[in-house]
Structure 1
C-alpha cells in the first residue's frame, strides 16, 4: 500500500514487544521498533558517521538524581549506535550523547487494519485519499472472495515534527 508517502512494511503481529524490524522503504533503510505495543521508526543510519544504527543494542533509560541513587525506566528506550555508542531516543530521535546538538529524524509508524476489516467510512476515506482497494469492473476473470485478517505496520515518510518542550518556569 502506498497512499502518498505511506508504505505497508509488515504484519503488526510479527513484531513482538522489544523487537525490531529493518526495512527498505522509498529507497531508505528504516528500523521499526515495538516498545510496549507502540511502534516507532528511525533511519538506519547514525547521523554521526553513518553506521547501521538500528542494529545497535536497545537500552532503557538510566538516570541518577544524586550519587548512589539511580532509576531505570525500561519503557523509555534508546538505540545505541554499534560504532561509537551514541544513544538515540527511539520515540523522539533525540541524542542522549549530545542532547542539544544532535538528533535523528523519526518516522510515524501506525497500525492499520487489514483491508478485510475496513468499515465503509474508512474505505471511503482511503478512496478519497487516492488509495483504491479494488478497481471498478467489468472483470472477465473468475474471482474469489479473499479476506486478510491481520493488522499491518504502515510507515509514513513525511517528516515528524518533534514536540518542543518548554522550559519550566
Structure 2
C-alpha cells in the first residue's frame, strides 16, 4: 500500500509534482487525483480503484518513464465503456514516438494501429492495417463484423402475464 503519487513516481522516482500532473493529464487521471488526492494510500481496503482507474495510473507511470517500447496486454479489459474511452485517449498519448505492442481482444483497442497481426491457434493468419484487413475479407473482417453486430444487441425482458 503506497500513496497514489509514489505509485506514479515508480516510472521516475525523482519526478516533480509538475511532471506528475503533466502525465496525469495525458493519462486522463487528473479527475481521479483531484477527487482522491496524491497522498491517498491505494491498494488497501480503504480506497478502491476501478480497473479503468488502475490502468490509467499505470499509463501515467509509463508516460513518466518514457520507455521507447511499451507492451500493453488487454489494456481495456477491466473497464466500462466510459473508462475504455479514457484509456484509449491515454494510450494515444503514451504511444507518441514509441513502439507499442498491443495484445487485445477488443477490436476497438487496435483499430488505429499501424499494423495489426491476427493470430489463430498460435499462427499468424493475417496482417495489415484495419482497412486492409477489412478489404481482405478474412478472419479479421469476420471478427470485426461480429463485433459490430454485438454493438446492436439489446436485452429484452419477458413480459409476465
Same fold (TM over 0.5): no
Normalised to the residue count of structure 1, the TM-score between the two structures is 0.26
Higher relative contact order (CA 8 A, sep 6+): 1
Q: Which has the higher strand share?
A: 1
Normalised to the residue count of structure 2, the TM-score between the two structures is 0.26
Structure with greater Cα Rg: 1
Q: Which has the higher helix share?
A: 2
